[in-house]
Amino acid sequence: MTTAWIDTHCHLDAPEFDADRSAVRREAMARGVDHCVIPAVERSNWETVRLLAHQHGDSYALGIHPLYTGRADDGDVALLQEMLVQHHADPRLAAIGEIGLDYFVPGLDPTRQERFYRAQLQLARRFDLPVILHVRRSADKLLKGLRDLPVRGGIAHAFNGSLQQAQAFIGLGFKLGFGGAMTYDRALQLRGLAAELPEEALVLETDAPDIPPHWLYTPAAQRAEGLPQGRNAPAELPRIAEVLAQLRGQPLAALAQATTANACAALPRLVPLLALRGIDGEIEE
């Protein structure tokens, strides 16, 4: 079997991809990104991410993102439960997500966020699914929720916390997602974590079309002059992986094998899907 790159967090349904979505996915495949996990953010795109995953041979997650809790209906959790009942047997349904807490963006009701977060942890427990977590200035509160309502692990997406917080997530069975933010020289703490954390804790992601790596980033001054921000895409994942391999002093092939196995450990429903493509989700001893 061969080993491939897995983009564990890609918003392929985003409007930024409306003009060339299939071409974007083909380019990623051509660069070795054999699988993408497409998380939902609100009720309106649950069915969209499901259909996209089936169209492109990928996986999806269903959930309510903390940034969308302000416009979510109180009944959306019940509707999510109905969706999970309907599709729980779907092998491409990999997780509950993207869920979590965001204490960075102003104007969000923290109490409302926490209510949606805990309700979705309850769904993850009921349906025995891992979760994909949005973590932004909220690691400690997220960890408290996980201790109160333990789930079967998952991924702490775009992790950028402390070593102690990283170890706490790992101790609860989570992998940590690293992507474009790690490619910036000034991201010293994040790059240090990427270099020092145990290999078995790491998964790769793009968060496309967001969190562009440094080679796509357009500085604020240039954006003010009308230049657009660079669009991140799943095809960037191998180059992001090269940065991680350099930080760790690790051969790229070994990193590919390890992060693929880690993604499969975090999201076990990936294993049979990858096996259909001849991709091994196990680390060789």
Flag whether 214 is marked binding: no
Residue of 243, 235, 230, 186 lying closest to 206 (CA atoms): 235
Integer Cα distance of 14 and 96 in angstroms = 18
Handedness of CA 280, 207, 58, 72 (dihedral sign): positive
Handedness of CA 58, 63, 66, 68 (dihedral sign): positive
Flag whether 134 is marked binding: yes
Flag whether 54 is marked binding: no
Flag whether 207 is marked binding: yes
E strand residue ranges, 111-251: 131-136, 154-157, 174-178, 202-204
The H or E element that residue 110 is part of is helix 110-127
Flag whether 9 is marked binding: yes
Flag whether 11 is marked binding: yes
Dihedral angle computed from the Cα positions of residues 104, 108, 113 and 116, in that order, rounded to the nearest 10 degrees: -130
The number of residues in the chain equals: 285
Residue of 60, 58, 35 lying closest to 47 (CA atoms): 60
Over its C-alpha atoms, the chain yields an Rg (Å, rounded) of: 18
Integer Cα distance of 27 and 23 in angstroms = 6
Q: Which residues contact 89 (CB under 8 A, 6 or more apart)?
A: none
Q: How many CB atoms lie within 10 A of CB 78?
A: 11
Indicate the annotated binding residues: 9, 11, 98, 134, 157, 207
Indicate the annotated binding residues for a divalent metal cation: 9, 11, 98, 134, 157, 207
